[in-house]
Structures are given as C-alpha cells and as structure tokens.
Structure 1
Amino acid sequence: MNWDSLPLLIILALSIIGNNHTVAVAALVLLLIPRLGLENYLPFIDKHGINIGIVILTIAVLSPVAQGHIAMNDMLAIFKSPVGFLAVVIGVFLAWVAGQGVIFMKESPETVSALIIGTVIGVCFFRGLPVGPLIAGGLVALLVNVLGLFKR
C-alpha cells in the first residue's frame, strides 16, 4: 500500500460518512489520477485548480443573471433594505476572508487536509453544512494572525 494515499483515503471515508459528495468526488479523482497514469496533471491542478474552481463557481452564481431571473432593478433594490445592505457588507467581508484563505493555504498547504477533515466532521456530527475551504482557511488565517501563531 502507498502510505502517501492514506490522507486522501481518510478524507474520502469521512466525506462518505458525512455525505459530503463534493469532497468525496474530489478525493476519489485525486486517488485515481496516479493510478490512471495521469500524475503529470497533478502539478497543473495544484497550480491552477483553485482559480479554475472559482471560475466555475462564479459561473454558477451568475447563471440566474444570465438567465434573466435577476434584473438590474432587483440588484439596485437590494441597497434599499437593511438586510440587503448587510448581505452586501457580509459578502464583501467573506470574499476578502476567502482571499486570505487562498494566501494562507498556499503558505501552509498542510492545513488544507485539516480544514477538510474539520468540515466533514462538522457535517457528520454537528448537522453542519460544508462551507468552502477558502473561507475556512481565511478564518484560520485571521485567527492565527490575531493570535500571533504564524509569521509571514
């Protein structure tokens, strides 16, 4: 057995137990890539995977606009209510936090597995919902910097 695969196998098992299909598929694909002789693609995935994923996610988020389900008037009306304004402010903050997560995960890639395992445990045992590792990484980066645990 290749012990290098053990972390991905653990993540796969936890994601199956936690019914987290996204993480399960990702772990399974990464386990299969070397076994299919495609390991030359791993550096490309490592370098560009987050950006490709963000593009796909952004396309999904913007698809209601492209379909005409959200008009310009609807977008402008959001600023007229306190809840809408708060949603915009929180959206800006979380986008910034996610950006910090990208930086932190590049500087400390060993934390990615811990973030995913923590997310899967939260889904399995605390009836949580999986939030993106970028936001989780950003929150970890903020706390680590505030507590002075990480030197940049």
Structure 2
Amino acid sequence: MINSSILFLLLLLIIGYIANNQSLMIAVSFLLIVKLIGLDTKIFPSLQKNGINWGVTVITIAVLVPIATGEIGFKQLLDSLRSPYAWIALVSGISVAIIAKQGLSLLANDPHITTALVFGTILAVSFFKGVAVGPLIGAGIAYLLMKMVKLIS
C-alpha cells in the first residue's frame, strides 16, 4: 500500500526530474529505496538527528580540498586580504556561520518552522537552481527575523 509519504516523495522526484535537479532526484530516490526496503525505522532517525552535521562536514571537506592539494596556501590567503572583496567575504563567512548556528537550534526546537523551511528549500532547488544548504541558513535568517519582530511588537 502506498502511503502519503511515498506519494509526497514521488511528487518530489517528479519535480526534481522536471527541474533537472540531480541532487534532489538522488536524495529522494535514496529515501524511497530505504523506505520501500523497510530500513526507514533504523536509518531515518539517525539521518534526521545527524544528517545536517554530516552534510556540513562533507561541504567543509569539499571547501578545504584546495588547501589540501596546495592550490591555496598562506601566500594566497595573505594576498587575498589586500582586496576589499576578500574582507567582505571574510565578514560574510563569519556572519553566515553565526546566523546558521541560531538556525540549528530553531530547526531542532520548532518542527512547523522546519517544514516550511524544507519546502522552501525544495522549491528553490527545484525551480531556481538553488543549493540545498537553505534550511540551515534559512532557519538562521528566520530566527533573526523572528527576534526582530518580537522586539518591534
């Protein structure tokens, strides 16, 4: 019997196909396979609990590869700091990391916000060629905006 979660995943698979988004299609296919072979109760809780941290680790590894290969070293770092754009990038990197930290706690403590953020990310990935780091950054931005709304009211 096909339940609503499988139908929802199939819909996302179709959206991924229409949008030609390989990452979404791979992610949905993986989840469908795990669910259909009955390993969802063993795998999903761990993925839900640790998946974002694993994903951040994989992204961090990818970003650090140029350092490991020697393409980027201390000379390039020092040279880049002479550029005003590098300083903007430095401040942006710090800001995003701090904002995302607040987003992690929001995602952990507010499930209905998580649903909206995940759906927003799926839409952005599918139709606007976005990248699926959105829930974490989106949660951080949502956290900041919610704090601002509380201050105003």
Query: With structure 2 as the length reference, what TM-score do the two structures score?
Result: 0.82
In structure 2, the partner of 1:104 is 106
How many residue pairs were aligned? Answer: 148
The reply on whether 1:130 has 2:144 as its aligned counterpart is no
- Whether the 8 Å contact between 1:18 and 1:121 is mirrored in structure 2 is no
Larger relative CO (CA 8 A, sep 6+): 1 or 2?
1
The one of 54, 67, 70 aligned to 1:68: 70
Percent identity between the aligned chains? 35
The reply on whether 1:18 has 2:19 as its aligned counterpart is yes
Residue 123 (structure 1) shift? 5.0
* CA shift digits 1:90-133 (9 cap, x unpaired): 011111122222211111234344324323434555x4533512
Gaps of 5+ in 1: none
The reply on whether 1:52 has 2:54 as its aligned counterpart is yes
Query: With structure 1 as the length reference, what TM-score do the two structures score?
Result: 0.82
Read off the aligned partner of 1:8 and give its amino acid letter.
L
Residue 13 (structure 1) shift? 2.9
CA-based RMSD of the aligned residues comes to 2.3
- Rounded to whole Å, the distance in 1 between the matches of 2:110 and 2:39 is 25
Pick which of 47-56 and 108-117 moved more: 108-117
Gaps of 5+ in 2: none
